[in-house]
Amino acid sequence: MRIRWCVCDVDGTLMNSANHLTEETMLAVRQMQEAGVELILSTGRSPLFIKELVAKLNLGGPVICCNGGLIRHVGTRQTLFSKEIRRETVLALAADFLDNGVDALMYSDEHIYYNRGSKRAQLYFRFNQEKEPEFQVPMIEITRAEELPDRIIKFFVWDVDAALAERITTIHNKQGDLYIVQSMKGSLDVMASGVSKGEALRFLAQQGRLQLAQTAVFGDNYNDVSMFELAGLPIAMANGEAAAKQAAKFVARSNDENGVAHAIRRYILEQPV
């Protein structure tokens, strides 16, 4: 069956290890779009952190952000779906992270919040220094959990050790309303229960924005597996986690070998490679 939609993870998949989108990948994406296949990004990132990428790829449809916690139509800027973490749970998590000096970022649909001393936030500051104003990410420092707004969609927790993972699990067990997944080594993404990239894909299918059987999915990590279980053509990256490779139909070259570009030509455009 002909592929008409391509849903692609960003970090570790579309982007190489230097966090760059290569010319070869850009060319393959353009060829795919010209052939009538729509590209949909599906990422753990905030929509604020993919604005430049969306512009480079000339996207005008839905993008899946925050591991499915937010789906935004970039053409109309309409929010198609959003599920926030319950306020009581937000306060419990934020209080623990602030009290214990945990390196965590907190995502709303309009800002990214951080605690003082966050090393991860420094990456965003450097990112902002290199970008034009329209592509910069609005950052706000907090010192108290109560300073966070009601609409927190995701916590990104960096440098996770066993003790921290146990505390997050304890809060989850008490509140019973979280989805916790790894999107990159040494980190955890924390969203509301019922949120995942797979559920976001299902939502778009229910809205008539894609057909799962005619959708290819690229990913590299645990948070991509839920999409692999639904899509007609799931493709994992050679650099990906074993769980992703096991759930995929094919394994592409690594993200540092233009794996997405090669797989687009081989499996979607069906060109000789």
**Residue 160: per-residue pLDDT:** 86
**pLDDT at residue 272 in the model:** 62
Contact 121, 93 (CB under 8 A): no
Could you tell me if 217 and 224 are in contact, meaning their C-beta atoms sit under 8 angstroms apart?
yes
Q: Residue 172's CB: how many other CB atoms inside 10 A? A: 18
pLDDT attached to residue 145:
97
Position 273 scores a pLDDT of 60
C-alpha 85/C-alpha 64 separation (Å) is 17
According to the model, what pLDDT value does residue 162 have?
A: 86
Provide Rg for the chain, Cα atoms: 18
Identity at 116, one-letter amino acid code = R
* In the chain, where the domains are located: 5-82+196-268, 87-192
Question: What's the pLDDT score for residue 198?
Answer: 98
Cα gap 212→209, rounded to integer Å: 10
The residue among 58, 55, 63, 49 whose CA lies nearest residue 128 is 49
The yes/no answer on whether domain 87-192 falls in CATH 3.30.1240.10 is yes
Give the pLDDT of the chain (273 residues) as one tens digit per residue: 799 999 999 999 999 999 999 999 999 999 999 999 999 999 999 999 999 999 999 999 999 999 999 999 999 999 999 999 999 999 999 999 999 999 999 999 999 999 988 999 999 999 999 999 999 999 999 999 999 999 999 999 998 888 888 888 888 888 778 999 888 888 899 999 999 999 999 999 999 999 999 999 999 999 999 999 999 999 999 999 999 999 999 999 999 999 999 999 999 998 766
CATH entry 3.40.50.300 includes domain 5-82+196-268: no
- Which strands make up the sheet holding 70-73, listed edge to edge? 62-65, 70-73, 78-82
Q: H helices of 57-180, where?
A: 87-99, 119-130, 162-175
H or E element that contains 206: helix 197-206
